[in-house]
Amino acid sequence: MRNYRHIEVRPIAGALGAEIAGVDMARDLDDEVVAEVRRAFLDHLVIFLRDQKVTPQQQVAFARRFGEPIEYPQLKGLPEAPMITPVVKLEHERHNFGGIWHSDTTYLPEPPMGSMLLAREVPPYGGDTMFANQYLAYEALSEGLRKTLEGLVGISSSTKADVTRTREDALKQAGAGATPKTLQAEHPLVRTHPETGRKALYTSDAHTACIKGWTEAESLPLLRFLWQHQVRPEFTCRFRWEVGSLAFWDNRCAMHNPINDYHGFRRVMHRITLAGDRPRV
């Protein structure tokens, strides 16, 4: 276990995820504290803070210590803080935004490096979010399959049917009229993390449409195997939200999946997305 001077880091599962104590997002943090939080983020892939009492502006200021906030495609930000995207499920709604295993917006040429999600209103039960470690998923593959994946490129699309369904209520709330245009990008199925140098699987059922140069029929058997493999229980953790909880995940090596098991209750989250780079082999 790594030693920290300013923060306390408590892993919540064997695979990934740690709760951090000793950080108040509302305060102007010391560089040393920020460096330790970043170290914990790189080691644990997703970190959680509890009981944060912050205004939207303070949330944005905190996010800026770790990266560059960017707007989320297709959804409007808060009027008072446009870099914050509300992720809301209302009492009468059935779909939860992003309710499928995914890495965020891999259909962009430079997908985000990470996202920060702050819980503003939570249901009395349910609405947890699961995360999965894609370094472990990659490392658990046979040497033979790891060799096969070398050089393979996945084509991500923003309009696969299952993920499109999860956005329907959010787009209605945002008053979006026209059907969003299709966004597409090509990325290696295995990427090397630019900060840790580790290799991670980089595909998802939500966004990967096929393998470049392969037909869909040829691609799907291999992709479906990877999509099942990459979220095996031993690669995951599950986070129970409370008002004031913040999750900060590394989109380059972790996937996530919010559980849709709280129909009839409201869940309101404020999300900031941080700019990333082009995934490299």
Answer yes or no whether residue 59 interacts with ligand SIN by CB under 6 A. no
* 102 included as an active-site residue: yes
* 92 included as an active-site residue: no
* 167 included as an active-site residue: no
By beta-carbon proximity to ligand SIN, the closer residue of 105 and 219 is 105
Contact residue for ligand SIN among 112, 258, 276, 279 (CB under 6 A): 258
Q: Give Cβ neighbours of residue 188 (< 8 Å, ≥ 6 apart).
A: 151, 152, 153, 154, 202, 279, 280, 281
In whole angstroms, how far apart are CA 147 and each of 64, 120, 142, 152, 211?
A: 38, 45, 9, 10, 15
The residue number whose beta carbon is nearest to ligand SIN equals 98
Answer yes or no whether residue 131 interacts with ligand SIN by CB under 6 A. no
Q: Count Cα neighbours of 119 within 13 Å in the Cβ-side half-sphere.
A: 23
Contact residue for ligand SIN among 12, 13, 18, 117 (CB under 6 A): 117
Dist CA 254 CA 189 (whole Å): 14
In whole angstroms, how far apart are CA 20 and each of 12, 31, 48?
A: 10, 16, 6
For residues 15-34, which are near ligand SIN according to CB under 6 A? Answer: none
Candidates 44, 104, 169, 193; catalytic one: 104
Answer yes or no whether residue 207 interacts with ligand SIN by CB under 6 A. no
Q: Which amino acid is at 80?
A: E
Torsion of CA 119, 48, 52, 240, to 10 degrees: 40
Candidates 187, 191, 256, 270; catalytic one: 256
Contact residue for ligand SIN among 97, 107, 202, 235 (CB under 6 A): 97
Alpha helices in 107-151 (DSSP H): 134-139, 143-149
Q: Which residues are catalytic?
A: 102, 104, 256, 271
Where does this chain bind ligand SIN (CB under 6 A)?
Answer: 87, 97-98, 117, 129, 256, 258, 269, 271
